[in-house]
Amino acid sequence: MAHGPTRRPRIVALTLAALVATAACSAPGGDAGNDGADASAAPVTDATCGTAPVTLKGYFETGFPLPKNLSDEFTKQFPNVTWDIREDQFAVITQNAPRVLSDDPPDLMRLPQVSELVKDGLLKNLDGYASAFGWDKWPASQLEQMRVSGTGERGDGPLYAMGLNFSMTGIFYNKKLAAQVGMTQPPATLAELDTVLQKAKDAGLVPINQFNGGATGGLAFPLQNLMAAYGDPAAINQWIYQKSGATIDTPANLRAAEHLQKWLKAGYFAPDINSQDYAAMMSRFIGGKNLFIFDGDWESGNLDKQMAGNVGFFLMPPAQAGGKRAAMSAPLTYGISTKAKNADCAAFFLNWVATNQQARDIAVKVGGSHPMGPADAYMPAVAGNTVTASTLAAGATIGTDNGAMDFIANATGAIYAKGWTPQLQKMAAGQQTPDGLLKSVQKDYQSQVKD
């Protein structure tokens, strides 16, 4: 990923209105009659939403305004298209994805992990659309995480999904509380971060508040950040991409898990971490109840509104001074069912999201992160004193350091619900060790990859 604060006032050359004016409602390679994982690999020449009434059926993640804002703007520009949207939490989508794609297929769906869905023939091969719209001319790193080979490994092969934007995780902080404990700039090393955490606790503050309750193990966010501080992000991606011989149970990751356990034992997290959901975490942070949260840039626009001028963002500092930075940096992934009734229109929407000026404005100002699209595409101006500006600048650092990782919850379709979440909840409760955590998750991973 290579997103940063570059601003080039140039609108991408693809003229969407001209496409609409010349195309029918569906085009070769994208209609409901196509079955099988490779059906849409055939050339596509004029995929659009046409001019006849179309209802796009969507299955989106609840709690995030970006998809809804984009779909509303799309309907304003293309009034013949309306939406039928169902929303669920990410963990529920993860569990429901195979059944929904098979039995009640949406045109467009927020995707958890793609390898198993591709293997089962549930996702449309998007290579035909990539060629037609020019996605294959974008920076290759944007699409890498959404490619799946014939052996089920990710990172190369046909394209089976597209992103609404590039998301990235790091650490948000309350500037007023940071000043109270003498933090005048982001910590430069992991040891400096540890010092700030202890100062916050000594001052009677909650250093970190993190969701970890229910079906979502939010401790995966700080854990993966710590993995990035201690080890090579490429090794994490090898595991997530299901490369042969890859393991999460490494000495570097053990050090990361031990560091997380040290934070837990030191009382740096809110004591009710295992009963908190995501909404509670955000409510407390916005209410000024804690210093840090580990979260993603999708909250940047929200925090700029709710806590204007009082939020900062930084990437996890390295273990050693001067070390490279790494972070979970992945597309907000959406796919098209092989049984979608309006596949061409869904693909046209995905292309519009990446290339339309208003859509890119929404991606940055609402989503808080860098849109997909050509390297020289239009970027809206962002005020320099905002957290959105900070997250975009952090993205440039990740691009320079080649430190982008997919989310460890995306390694298999079940690893988040059956592996990371229960084991991290046990660790937070003092019932699991760092070594036991990694070995248990790796065992689950191996059984799921073999299935």
Residues ≥6 apart with Cβ < 8 Å to 245:
none
Give CA–CA dist 444/440, Å, rounded: 6
Give CA–CA dist 306/309, Å, rounded: 9
- Cα dihedral angle (186, 190, 192, 198), rounded to 10 degrees? 110
333, two tokens: 């992934």
Residues ≥6 apart with Cβ < 8 Å to 288:
174, 176, 177
CB 383 within 8 A of CB 301: no
Give 323: exposed, middle or buried? Use CB within 10 Å, 0-12, 13-18, 19+: middle
Grade residue 43 by pLDDT with cuts at 50, 70 and 90. Answer: low
* Domain range 16-165+331-389, CATH architecture: 3-Layer(aba) Sandwich (3.40)
User: Is 10 a residue whose pLDDT tops 60?
Assistant: no
Buried b / exposed e over 71-87, threshold 16 CB at 10 Å, is bebbeeebeebebeeeb
pLDDT 10s digits, 126-168: 999 999 999 988 888 788 889 998 877 888 899 999 999 888 8
- Sign, CA dihedral 280-196-194-385, equals positive
The pLDDT of residue 155 is 84
295 φ/ψ angles, rounded to the nearest 5 degrees: -160, -175
Give CA–CA dist 141/335, Å, rounded: 18
Give CA–CA dist 148/155, Å, rounded: 6
As a whole number of Å, the CA-based R_g of the chain is 21
The pLDDT of residue 32 is 35
Give CA–CA dist 172/163, Å, rounded: 23
**Domain spanning 167-329+394-450: CATH 3.20.20.70:** no
Give CA–CA dist 7/5, Å, rounded: 6
Give CA–CA dist 63/318, Å, rounded: 31
CB 30 within 8 A of CB 347: yes
The pLDDT of residue 147 is 93
Does residue 417 sit in helix, strand or coil? helix
Give CA–CA dist 243/185, Å, rounded: 39
The pLDDT of residue 42 is 63
User: Is 36 a residue whose pLDDT tops 80?
Assistant: no
67, two tokens: 């998809």
Same fold, 16-165+331-389 and 167-329+394-450: yes
Does residue 59 sit in helix, strand or coil? strand
Looking at residue 25, its amino acid is C
Grade residue 114 by pLDDT with cuts at 50, 70 and 90. Answer: confident
The pLDDT of residue 134 is 93
Does residue 422 sit in helix, strand or coil? helix
429 φ/ψ angles, rounded to the nearest 5 degrees: -85, 5
Put residue 339 in one of left, alpha, beta given phi > 0 → left and psi -120 to 50 → alpha: alpha
Does residue 293 sit in helix, strand or coil? strand
What rounded mean pLDDT belongs to the chain? 87
Grade residue 442 by pLDDT with cuts at 50, 70 and 90. Answer: very high
pLDDT 10s digits, 51-87: 999 999 999 988 788 899 999 999 999 999 999 999 9
Range name among 207-216, 252-261, 434-443 with the lowest pLDDT average: 207-216
The pLDDT of residue 216 is 84
Give CA–CA dist 451/98, Å, rounded: 14
294, two tokens: 């580990």
Domain residue extents for the chain: 16-165+331-389, 167-329+394-450
Element (DSSP H or E) covering residue 56: strand 54-61
The pLDDT of residue 206 is 98
Q: Which range has highest mean pLDDT (40-49, 317-326, 409-418)?
A: 317-326
Give 361: exposed, middle or buried? Use CB within 10 Å, 0-12, 13-18, 19+: middle
Give CA–CA dist 246/225, Å, rounded: 19
Residues ≥6 apart with Cβ < 8 Å to 56:
71, 81, 82, 83, 84, 107, 108, 342, 345, 346, 349
Grade residue 12 by pLDDT with cuts at 50, 70 and 90. Answer: very low
Buried b / exposed e over 235-271, threshold 16 CB at 10 Å, is bbbbbbbbeeebebbbebbbbbbebbbebbeeebbbe
